[in-house]
Amino acid sequence: MNECLRRLQYIPYYGIMIPMKKQKNVTAIECEAEQTTQQKTEVSGTQGQQQSKSDVPMTEQQTERWAKSSEKVQNPKLKQFIQILIFTGFSISAGVIQIVSFGILYDWTKWLPWWPAYLISLVLSVVWNFTFNRKFTFRAANNVPLAMGLVVVYYCMFTPISVFGGDEIAAMLSENLGMLVTFIMMLINFVTEFIWDKFIVFNEKVTGRIEALFHGGKKSVYVVGAGISGLTAARVLAEAGYRVTVTEKRDTVGGNVYDYTDENGIIVQKYGPHIFHTNDKEVYEFLSRFTEWNLYEHRVLGYIGGKYVPVPFNLTSLFELYPKDKAEKLKAILIQEIGLDKKVPILQLKEHPEKIVREFAQFVYENVFYTYTMKQWGFPPEELGATVMNRVPVYISYEDRYFTDEYQFQPKEGYTKLAENLLSHRNIKLVTGKDALESLKIENGGILLDGKKFRGKVIFTGAIDDLFARKYGALSYRSLDFVFETHDTASYQPAAVVNYTTSEKFTRISEFTKFCCPPQEKTVIVKEYSKACGEEDIPYYPIPKQECLADYEKYLLDAQQVKNLYLLGRLACYRYMNMDVAVKSAMELAEQIKNSK
């Protein structure tokens, strides 16, 4: 609950953001093709003059950036092989400790008989693995304490057998062959521990049963919603030994990141475009366990004055829409006062002392933000408040990527497959086609499930006002209508997403081949129409107004009084979230639950 309270302090500007939604359908994904560089686009000309930059050589900076990204999406088998080499190398370090210590105690100094020298050297190598080398020895374990305990069990069996067995063998051989006996015991140790680790320590089925024996029904979690937030939390907790039930109102998983492959082999995102981007290495590495990636750098164009220009508005946009001499003058002022590759809020430019800058700011405001915001939200940008408007930037740069995060990818087999892989754990039970609120009730500060008191944890990712039967009224959202079209052309528009900031009733058009696949004979686009959220509509965007947040806080205060209830995700926390933020929040919440009593 504290996480949701903290989030209330930050409201992003939604007007030109890419929706990252929740809820709905699934299929398997078959688009195996590597992401091409078709996204590099010409930014001028009318819609009838589209030209993809796939044939245009990348700049040296782009080539270097993509080369670095290629290293991050290396073949999983190669990555696993490298990890095995690293693990083996650190395991060898324990062997070195054992050999050296045994040599000092027995082979070189004759201080001790064979068996105590061997026992001490074995204990030192085990201590090394359990302390300094622990990070590498147990890094693959879902439950590190349990893994360490199981290894202790192994050594409780192996140590007496190897000590007394080895001592018997050493007694039958020459004293000079004591080191050979130690090598034999180490080889047996290596082989038997490898087998033990493979089939016991790192076997989810075995460790899950062991955890169940110790915890019984005490570690049960009920997750409402199979979107990216709920699935992430479910997976982390399942790996920690919790029994997790995930319920989803629809018949499918993945929430609004649901995608499918159409008859032309194109991955279509049914609820609008979703792009994974983050600077959080932990989030990237977590999701990389469940998907391979295609390189993808997102670029958005705005259709303004009959031309396609980069959004957010940058120096390229400036020179496309302004006369060259005026653009040069503005560029010089902006770079001198703000600096190259810097972002400046539009409100700051509107208050600039020089008239030419104020006029420029007004032009950008009217042509990029005002009409688009009216279509997206149904009210002008000013009603978002100065705090939010101050985050609307002009980018003093030629950088045309929509995101500048270090990690920018699309799942190779789509988001649905990613969701299915997150669910693939023996401790997770999935129930689809069920409205959890038919059996989940809040009563007297407690949780009832099917009419009985539920003593486990509940993670709720649905609309918080529905959880409390809208006792304070329905919270306000914006919804979307999607119109899909298939066209007999390889490319419909010059970028994956084009925002219509001054024209058309729809807000933008997304073209899916540019997200996932090389050019096809056909292409699929979707037009988005924003609207007020009705009773039968899907709620996509919480309304970023203070009065709406005040209504939400009433529900939040009620939720805080319910023991073992945890709110997670966009609808429960009434806050727009990028995908990486949703995943990170879920990971943190799972850790909070694991550490709770």
In a domain, 388, yes or no: yes
Average confidence (pLDDT) over 297-326: 96
Residue 252 has pLDDT above 60, yes or no: yes
What's the CA dihedral at 237, 238, 243, 245 to 10 degrees? 90
In a domain, 328, yes or no: yes
pLDDT, position 313:
95
Whether omega before 312 lies within 30 degrees of 0, making that bond cis, reads: yes
Domain that holds residue 326: 313-396
pTM: 0.73
Confidence band of 203 (pLDDT split at 50, 70, 90)? confident
In a domain, 376, yes or no: yes
Average confidence (pLDDT) over 450-456: 90
Residue 590 has pLDDT above 60, yes or no: yes
Domain boundary among 145, 176, 207: 207
pLDDT, position 52:
44
Q: In whole angstroms, what is the distance from residue 406 CA to residue 418 CA?
A: 21
Domain boundary among 207, 230, 263: 207
In a domain, 549, yes or no: no
Confidence band of 68 (pLDDT split at 50, 70, 90)? low
Average pLDDT value over all residues in the chain = 84
Contacts 24+ apart (CB under 8 A), 82-87: 86/136, 87/136, 87/137, 87/139
Residue 9 has pLDDT above 60, yes or no: no
In a domain, 56, yes or no: no
> How many structural domains compose the chain?
2
Q: In whole angstroms, what is the distance from residue 413 CA to residue 186 CA?
A: 44
Task: Find all residues with CB under 8 Å of 597, minimum gap 6, and list them.
Answer: none
In a domain, 273, yes or no: no
Better-predicted residue by pLDDT, 522 or 12: 522
pLDDT, position 28:
31
Domain boundary among 374, 396, 418: 396
pLDDT, position 141:
64
% of the chain beyond a pLDDT of 70: 80
Q: In whole angstroms, what is the distance from residue 288 CA to residue 365 CA?
A: 39
What percent helix, strand, coil does the chain show, rounded to 5?
A: 45, 15, 35
Task: Find all residues with CB under 8 Å of 282, minimum gap 6, and list them.
Answer: 584, 587
Q: Over the stretch 499-554, which tens digit does the pLDDT of each residue have?
A: 999 999 999 999 999 998 788 899 999 999 999 999 999 999 999 888 999 999 99
Better-predicted residue by pLDDT, 589 or 393: 589
Q: Answer for the pair 466, 477: CB distance below 8 angstroms, yes or no.
A: no
CB atoms within 10 A of CB 451: 8
In a domain, 67, yes or no: no
In a domain, 345, yes or no: yes
Q: In whole angstroms, what is the distance from residue 479 CA to residue 529 CA?
A: 8
Q: Answer for the pair 4, 556: CB distance below 8 angstroms, yes or no.
A: yes
Q: Over the stretch 109-149, which tens digit does the pLDDT of each residue have?
A: 888 999 999 999 999 998 988 887 666 667 666 677 888 88
Residue 359 has pLDDT above 80, yes or no: yes
Residue 309 has which token pair? Answer: 């220009």
